[in-house]
Amino acid sequence: MIEASTTQIWIIIIAMGLGTYIIRFSFLGLIGNRPLPSWLLRMLRFTPVAVLPGVVAPMLMGSGAESMDPLRLSCALATLVVGLITRNVLYAIIAGLGLFFGLGALLG
Amino acid sequence: MPTPRTRHPFVHGALDSLPFFIVIVPFGALFGVIATEAGMNIAQVMGFSILVIAGASQLTALQLLIDNAPTVVVIVTALAVNMRMAMYSASLTPHLGANPLWKRALAAYCLYDQPFALATVEFEKRPDRSPRDKLTYFLGAGVPLGLFWYIATFLGAILGEKIPSDLGVDFAVPVTFLAVVAPMLKSLAHVAAAATSVVLVLVFSFMPYGTGLLVAAVIALVVGALVEIWTEKQRKTQ
């Protein structure tokens, strides 16, 4: 159970809300239409492939309870392969989750 | 693929966001259930989902609150989890920056992982769309997901334990992220950036407050850019 007071919880909610909004607004809000140097633009184009795999990897191979689970790893691999071949987000999700819940039901 | 000129960019974004409802709905509900069971009232639970609107940091804050961590630690740790969104903000600026400030302020509110990922894919496919259409697409990808995040949180909070929470839905997060990333891996430079990110985030897992991800991601950006410069040079000399 949470022992923090109502005031403390609201302080956390408001500070997190404001802080998160400032993080999101930062470049978009302050730079706006000003041109960015080409070396920076080149780097920024790699943002999704530089961040998202780093978010996913600890979920599958980190220290959590479900990490290094062979079923999850194979289904993640299936998602990646189908995504690479079809270049279609939805097919990749169907492959990964379909296999996960299908095999999960089969293996009990 | 033909350009869906006839389709309004908001509708286009909303349709593209549909697969992500598999993640948003169960996770919003999960947050609602855990937060309520831990003793938060409905206003606080909804305050989190509406004001913060970032699942991973909300669950982090919740866990720290349950562990009775000091208020400052909760805030700092949860904000560190969201620092990656500064990179998202920078990355979308070349596409959305020409829009009026109030629209950019609105877009910033929706800047979470899924609309960001969808927008990068769409803007690379059709870079010549107007900044206005791009922003409308982005809102289409973000607003309905956000609304369902609120609704799911609310349902989780009022239904509580009646919602089965152990269905393996947590696996939907890595799967949907991988499904978005895989089609983006179209050059050696993209693969190099992704591989760097995966290896370094595991190497830096000892770093506190999830800062390892930030270091890994920045190095991955540099690696991607360098490999791209290198492959361009190779092509020119051939």
Hunting for tokens 């607004």 — which residue is that?
Answer: A25
Instruction: Give the pLDDT mean for B9-33.
Output: 92
- Do B115 and B132 lie in one domain? The reply is yes
pTM metric for this prediction: 0.88
- Test B105 with A66 for CB contact under 8 angstroms: no
Instruction: Give the pLDDT mean for B111-126.
Output: 94
A9 touches chain B (CB under 8 A): yes
Instruction: Give the pLDDT mean for B179-183.
Output: 93
Instruction: Give the pLDDT mean for B86-104.
Output: 96
Report how far residue B40's alpha carbon sits from residue B45's, in angstroms, rounded to the nearest whole number.
Answer: 6
- Do B50 and B159 lie in one domain? The reply is yes
Residue B159, pLDDT > 80, answer yes
- Test B104 with A28 for CB contact under 8 angstroms: yes
Single out the residue of B8, B3, B21, B19 nearest to residue B135, CA to CA.
Answer: B8
pLDDT digits (tens, 9 = 90+) for B209-231: 778 999 999 999 999 999 999 99
pLDDT at A108: 65
Q: Look at residue A6 and tell me if it is in a domain.
A: yes
A46-50, B171-175, B191-195: segment of lowest average pLDDT: B171-175
Distance to chain B for A27, nearest Cα, Å? 5
- Do B116 and B190 lie in one domain? The reply is no
- Do B195 and B219 lie in one domain? The reply is yes
- Do B177 and B205 lie in one domain? The reply is no
Q: Look at residue A28 and tell me if it is in a domain.
A: yes
Q: Give the rounded percent of residues in chain B with a pLDDT score beyond 90.
A: 76
Q: Look at residue B164 and tell me if it is in a domain.
A: yes
Structural domain of B200? 186-238
Q: Look at residue A105 and tell me if it is in a domain.
A: no
Contact assessment for residue A62 and residue B144, using Cβ atoms and an 8 Å cutoff = no
- Do B53 and B150 lie in one domain? The reply is yes
Largest CA distance in chain B: 66
Closest in B19, B107, B221 to A46, CB measured: B221
- Do B118 and B29 lie in one domain? The reply is yes
Report how far residue A88's alpha carbon sits from residue A82's, in angstroms, rounded to the nearest whole number.
Answer: 8
Residue B1, pLDDT > 80, answer no
Task: Locate A55 and state its tokens.
Answer: 């978010």
Q: Give the rounded percent of residues in chain B with a pLDDT score beyond 70.
A: 95
Q: Which of A24, A82, A93 to mutate to test the interface with B (most CBs of B within 10 A)?
A: A24
Phi (first) and psi of residue B53, to 5 degrees: 45, 55
Contact assessment for residue A66 and residue A72, using Cβ atoms and an 8 Å cutoff = yes
- Do B113 and B203 lie in one domain? The reply is no
- Do B45 and B92 lie in one domain? The reply is yes
Residue B167, pLDDT > 70, answer no
Hunting for tokens 């961590």 — which residue is that?
Answer: B69
- Test B201 with A54 for CB contact under 8 angstroms: yes
Distance to chain A for B39, nearest Cα, Å? 6
Residue A44 to residues B90, B144, B217: CA-CA distances in angstroms?
7, 27, 11
Structural domain of A26? 1-34
pLDDT digits (tens, 9 = 90+) for A41-92: 999 999 999 999 999 999 899 877 777 888 999 999 999 999 999 998 889 9
pLDDT at A56: 92
ipTM (interface predicted TM): 0.90
| Dihedral of alpha carbons A47, A50, A51, A56, sign | positive
pLDDT at A67: 77
- Test A9 with B40 for CB contact under 8 angstroms: yes
* Domains: count for chain A: 1
Q: Look at residue A22 and tell me if it is in a domain.
A: yes
pLDDT digits (tens, 9 = 90+) for A6-23: 999 999 999 999 999 999
* Domains: count for chain B: 2
Q: Which string of DSSP letters, residue by residue, matches A49-91?
A: HHHHHHHHHHHHHSSSTTTT-HHHHHHHHHHHHHHHHH--HHH
Residue B97 to residues A35, A73, A74, B122, B131: CA-CA distances in angstroms?
9, 39, 40, 16, 8
Considering only residues 10 to 69 of chain B, which have any Cβ-Cβ distance to chain A shorter than 8 Å?
19, 22, 38-41, 44, 47-48, 51-54, 57, 61, 65-66, 68
pLDDT digits (tens, 9 = 90+) for B35-72: 999 999 999 999 999 999 998 899 889 988 998 889 99
pLDDT at A19: 97
pLDDT at B160: 81
Considering only residues 49 to 108 of chain A, which have any Cβ-Cβ distance to chain B shorter than 8 Å?
49-63, 66, 72, 75-76, 79-84, 86-90, 92-93, 96-97, 100-101, 104
- Do B90 and B206 lie in one domain? The reply is no
- Do B98 and B47 lie in one domain? The reply is yes
pLDDT at B6: 72
Q: Give the confidence band of B165 by pLDDT, cuts at 50, 70, 90.
A: low
